[in-house]
A and B are shown apart, each in its own frame.
Chain A
Amino acid sequence: MANMGDMGDMGDRGANGLGGGAGLLAFRIDLPFDKEKPQVWRKDKDGAWGWKEDPAIDLEVLPPDLTVTWTPRDWSARWFAWAIMGDFATQTAWKSITLTPYPVAAAEVTAELQLLFRAAQDERPDAMGEIVAQNQDYEDCMAFFMALLRISANSHPRTCGLMHVAGLIGLLTAMHFKNAPGSQPQRPRPSQLHPALLPAIEVPGHPAFPSGHATQAMLMALIVEQALPAERRTKLAPYLHTLAGRIARNREIAGLHYKSDTTGGLELAAKVFELLGSVESYADALKLAQGEWA
C-alpha cells in the first residue's frame, strides 16, 4: 500500500441543534463554505450547460441581504411554544385557579387504592406497551394525537406547535399545583402508601396530585379541537377526548396515579384552556393552525 497524504479532517459535525429541525451539517475545516468561489450553473448562448463564475473572490464578500426579517415561519414550533407559555404565565391569573380537593378520608383512599390494585391485576400487562410509550415526556403523548389525526410536523406544523403549547403549559401548571395544591399537603404517590402496587415504571419525582399526563393530554385534546373546522371538530372530538382519557388512565394502571389525580388534571386542563383564549400570542398561533385545516 502506497503512502498517502492527509485524508482530510472530517471536520466538526456541528451541534445537532435543539429547535430548528435542521439535520446534521458536516463542515469542512479545510474549505469553509464561505471560501467557495461564487458560481452559477447556466445555459450558454449555444445551449450548453456550464458553470459561470461570479467576479467576487468568495461567497463571504457577497453583500448581505439587509431586507430579511425574522418571520413566524422561522420559529420552530417547540421554541415558540415557550414564548406563548411565557405570555400565558405573565398575562393570566393562572395561579388563582382552584382545584377540587383530592379525597383524604381513609375509606376513600382505600377505595382508590383498591381500584389501582384491580387495574394492575386485570389490565397492566395489556397496557404496558402504551404505558412505556407515553412515559418520557409530553411529546410521547403528542405522537399518539398526531397518529390519531394522521398529521406530521411537516404536514401541520402549526397544529403541532399548539400541541407543544399544551404540553408546556400543562407541565407548568401541573407542577405548580403539585407543589402548591391549595390548602392540602403535597400528595404522596399511591405506591408510597401501599408498596404492593409496585409501579411498572419509575415513579416520577414529583407529587401525585394533579396528574400531569391528564393535564397535558386533555389540554392537547381541547386545543387541537379548537383548531379544527366546525364539522371536523364535531366528528373528531370524541376521539381526541377519549385518547386523552386513555393516556391519563394508563398512568393509573401503571400504579402512578390515583383516579382523583386524573380528575384533578382534567379539571386543571379545562380551567387553563379557558384562560388561554385571552393570550394574544396564543390566539395568533391558533389562527395559523386553523389555516392548516381549512
Chain B
Amino acid sequence: MSHRSLPMPPAGFDPVEKAADLLRLPEFGLPAMPDAAREPALYRLWREMLAAPLRFVADDSRPHVPKGGTPPAAAGMRLFSLPIRSREARRLPASPNWSGFTRFPSRGDRFSRVAASWIVPAVAAGAPEDRTTLDYRCSIWIGLDGKRRWADSMPQLGTEQTAGGTTRLWWQWWTPKSRRFQHYVDGVAVKPGDTVYCDLSMVAPDRVRLHFANRSTNEFTAVEVDGEAPMRGSSAQWILERPAEPELTATTVEAGELYPMPSFGAVSPLAFAARGMTPDGAVRAYGLDNARATSNVTLRQKPSRSAIVAFARRSGSGSGSVIRYR
C-alpha cells in the first residue's frame, strides 16, 4: 500500500481558535502548529491553511492512467540529453522540465517540512511551434529533494493545469525507478483563480503526510504516503513543471514525452516556508531568500534551437519570486 487516508476531523474542527482542537491535531495526522517566533512564515501558512471554516474531504487519490494505457516498453529516453543552444540558456540554470525556486540547506541542516500557497493560474495554449499530440500542460508543486543526483526520492504535491481547462490536485512520491504513477485527488475541486495551500511534512524518511487546502472553496484533504526509497531533505522547492507523459516499461515507470508548456502568464508563490532540522535536532526556518532560480528550456525544431519558455526570477522572498511565460 503506497498511501492511506487519514482520520477525518469532525465538522466545526478549528485548531486555530479552539485550544481543545489544537491538541487533537496528531489524532487526525494534521500538520503540527509551528512555533510563531521561530518559524513565523510557516506559522502564518499553517494558520491560513487551517483557519475555520473548513470542510474536510476524504482522500480519493487515484493513479494517473497514461495516454494509450500502459505501453509494454518505452521507446527510449530523450529527456535529459536536451541540448542547450542559446547563449542566454547557457548563462542560466536551466532545466528541460523544471522552472522555479529551489532552496538548499546550510550548516548541515536537512529539510523535514515545506509549505506554500499560490493562486492557481488560468492557462491557455502555448507557442504554436511547441504543439505536439499531447495537450499543453503544467504543474505547480512543492516538494523535498529531487534536485541533487544523490537525493532522487522526492515527495511532492500541487496543482496541475491544462490548456483544455482541466485543473486538478495531485501528489506523487517520485523515484527514478518507480512503478508508481502520480495520483490525482479529485474530491477537492480546483479551478483557476483559487488560492491553494500545500503542506508536506516528513513523518519518517520513507513516509510523508500531504495536506492541501483550497481556501477559495474552504475544502481540505490529506493523505499519508510511503516512499519506495528514503528521502534526504537536501532541497525544498516551489516549482512550475512541464511534466512528462509516463511510460511503463517492463519494470519501471519512465518519463516519456514532455508536455508542451502552456501560456500561464506570471505565477508567484504567495508564501513559502521550509523547516530545516539542524544536526542536533533544533528547528531552523528557511524561506526563498538565497533560493536558486531555474528556468525551463524547450527544444524547438526547424531550425533546431532552444528557447526559455518559463523564466524564473527571484527578487526577494515569497511573492517577490516570479516565473513568467515567454
Tell me the A residues contacting B by CB distance below 8 Å: 111, 114-115, 118-119, 121-123
User: How many residues from B make CB contacts under 8 Å with A?
Assistant: 10
Residues of chain B contacted by A119 (CB below 8 angstroms): 108
> Which of A111, A114, A122 touches B106 (beta carbons < 8 Å)?
A122
Q: Is the CB of B279 within 8 A of A122?
A: no
Chain B residue with the shortest CB-CB distance to A111:
B279
Whether B234 and A121, one on each chain, are in contact in the complex, defined by CB atoms closer than 8 angstroms, is: yes
Majority secondary structure of chain A interface residues (helix, strand, loop or mixed) = helix
Interface string of B70-110 (1 = CB under 8 A from A): 00000000000000000000000000000000001110111
- Chain A residues with CB under 8 Å of B148's CB are 121
Q: How far is the CA of A121 from the CA of B105 in the complex (A)?
A: 10
Measured between C-beta atoms, what is the minimum distance from B103 to chain A in Å?
Answer: 11
C-alpha spacing A123/B104, complex, angstroms: 9
Bound-state CA distance A115–B110 (Å) is 11
Could you give 21 example pairs across A and B, Cβ below 8 Å? A111-B279, A114-B108, A114-B279, A115-B108, A115-B279, A118-B105, A118-B108, A118-B109, A118-B110, A118-B279, A119-B108, A121-B148, A121-B150, A121-B234, A122-B104, A122-B105, A122-B106, A122-B108, A122-B234, A123-B104, A123-B106
Residues of B within 8 A of A (CB): 104-106, 108-110, 148, 150, 234, 279
Q: How far is the CA of A216 from the CA of B148 in the complex (A)?
A: 35
A211–B176 alpha-carbon span in the complex (Å) = 41
Closest to B292 in A: A126
- B109 / chain A contacts, CB cutoff of 8 Å: 118
Distance (whole angstroms) from the CB of B35 to the closest CB of chain A: 24
Instruction: Please name 8 further chain A to chain B contacts, defined as beta carbons within 8 Å, in addition to the given A115-B279, A118-B109, A122-B234, sorted by A numbering.
Output: A114-B108, A115-B108, A118-B108, A121-B148, A121-B234, A122-B105, A122-B106, A123-B106
CA–CA, A121 to B149, complex, Å?
11
Contacts of B279 in A (CB 8 A): 111, 114-115, 118
Give the complex CA separation of A123 and B108 in angstroms. 9
Closest to A125 in B: B104
Query: Which of A115, A119, A121 counts the most B-chain CB atoms under 10 A from its CB?
Result: A121
How far apart sit A80 and B150, CA to CA, in the bound complex (Å)?
51
B residues near A121, Cβ cutoff 8 Å: 148, 150, 234
Chain B residues with Cβ under 8 A from A118's Cβ? 105, 108-110, 279
List B contacts of A114 (CB < 8 A).
108, 279
CB neighbours (8 Å) of A123 from chain B are 104, 106
Query: What are the 10 A-B residue pairs with the smallest beta carbon separation, nearest first?
Result: A118-B108, A115-B108, A122-B104, A122-B105, A115-B279, A123-B106, A122-B106, A119-B108, A114-B279, A111-B279
Neighbouring A residues of B105 by C-beta, 8 Å = 118, 122
- Whole-angstrom CA separation of A115 from B279 in the bound complex: 8
Which chain A positions have C-beta within 8 A of B110?
A: 118
- When chains A and B are docked, how far (Å) is the Cα of A154 from the Cα of B148? 46
A118 to B106, CA, bound (A): 8
Chain B residues whose CB sits within 8 angstroms of the CB of A115 once the complex forms: 108, 279
Instruction: Please measure, in the bound complex, the distance between the C-alpha atom of A119 and the C-alpha atom of B106, giving whole angstroms.
Output: 7
How far, in whole Å, are A187 and B241 apart by their CA atoms in the complex? 49
Question: Across the two chains, which residue of chain A brings its CB closest to B232?
Answer: A121
The smallest C-beta distance from A198 to any residue of chain B, in angstroms, reads 14
In whole Å, how far is A261's beta carbon from the nearest beta carbon of chain B?
A: 16
> Which residue from chain A places its CB closest to the CB of B280 in the assembled complex?
A111
Bound CA–CA A111/B280 (angstroms)? 9
**Roughly how many angstroms separate A111 CA and B150 CA in the complex, as a whole number?**
20
- C-alpha gap A285/B123 in the complex (Å): 69
Centre residue among B109, B110, B148, B279 by max chain A CB count within 10 A: B279
A38 to B248, CA, bound (A): 95
